[in-house]
Structure 1
Amino acid sequence: MLHNDKLYAFSGAWGDEPLKMSLPGLPENYHLERHTYTISMHETLALWFIDSHLRGLALLTHTGKSMVVHEGHPYSIGLTSMKPSASLGILLDIDGGPVDREWVWNDIHPWQLRVLEGSPRPSLLLKLHLLRSRSLLEGKVTEKQLISHPIPALGLQVTLLFKADESGRLSIETYTLNGTWEELDSLKIPENKLISYTIGENVPLVRVSYSPKTVPATISVAQVFIC
């Protein structure tokens, strides 16, 4: 839903209030130029894209109360109170176009909307962002701990690739329904050697925290493969 120049995502089922969260990255010229808006539905995950960039994700779960984990860049994150069906028919409720001008629209034109009923599991290849930032971890030179933006893990296989030019410690953390982040595992990061790590626990969200042993340290690879 577009309201006051903000784009909102909704997800949920009959019961408690559905999840509602604003999506970052709405183009300033959304009403003047062509842009694409895509929703991809999977068994445990809904994804929102603007111009092919991930801008929002919702874990489709029964939590009893919807939760917004984060709103804003690089992408918003939430949990639904009731899990919606993954195979519903699609209804686009279109409102906002002048009825007297067929090819003109005041806001987002419906021809730019796409809703995809995806496979049960998504196929995502992502470069990790800094927590709540548009910046990527890759290329960052740091003298302190760096934390990544969370990624989805519920019912998914998540494989992490990480490499830095200085040794250090990598903490794997999970989100809890209490709103806290707790450590699941920790890894020793060797100097200038790529490591691959697959999340072995079925948890809602994960993030990584890198603490270099020697500073400054430069991160050259920080990517995840989610399927």
Structure 2
Amino acid sequence: MNLLVVNASPRRERSLSRRLGAAFVAEWLALRPHDGVVQRDVGIEHPPLLTEAWIAACFTPDEQQTPEQREVLAYSDAAIAELARADLVVIATPRYNYGMPAALKAWFDQVIRIRRTFRFDRAEKTWPLSPLLSGKTLVLLSSSGEFAFGPGGLRERWEHLEPHVRTCARYLGVADGHLHHVAIEYQEFGDERHSASVRDALDGAQELARRLARSEPAPGVRATG
């Protein structure tokens, strides 16, 4: 199997989401040491933002694209190729202002691309997906300063990270029921609740890795202290 690990934290050090991602991958490779792992660090090496030139190139048939247009789409082509090869996508990200960081949104914008990963069918009013992007599992590993974003929680209505990722996940080839979320909370408080949340999330990430690596059914996980 092939893993694509997308890190979205701008921190090189002391990043809790990177720590979760590293724990997940380490546990996975302990069971499946010959699997491939590709790292895409959007938190440090930011994806290009969409521009008018990008949109024009995107809607131009491949055989009519100029060299300049192909260059504009080079990042998107590479990111989509990585995604197409992946069986499991791991997104490790902080939650900023109740949603995903701008760099992660930019990555989604680069890989969800008309005529490459989906197309419009105006007659049927559907958006067929590319056959290259199917049968994938997505693991979302997040960290946040606040708490209680889960169902019934104090901040459930303010939670826009997981719903946004879940909506976009189908365009990555992730079917319903194949997205799993492990979260660290309470970071801004720095108290025992945060320490417990870190411990629980690390345990949850490792347990999820073991279940998925063994191809066992794994229900969605939310380890939130």
TM-score band w.r.t. shorter chain: under 0.3
Work out which of the two has the higher radius of gyration on C-alpha atoms and give 1 or 2: 1
Compare the two structures and name the one with the higher helix fraction.
Answer: 2
Higher strand residue share:
1
TM-score by length of structure 2 reads 0.25
* Greater RCO (Cα-Cα under 8 Å, separation 6 or more): 2
TM-score for the superposition, normalised by structure 1: 0.24
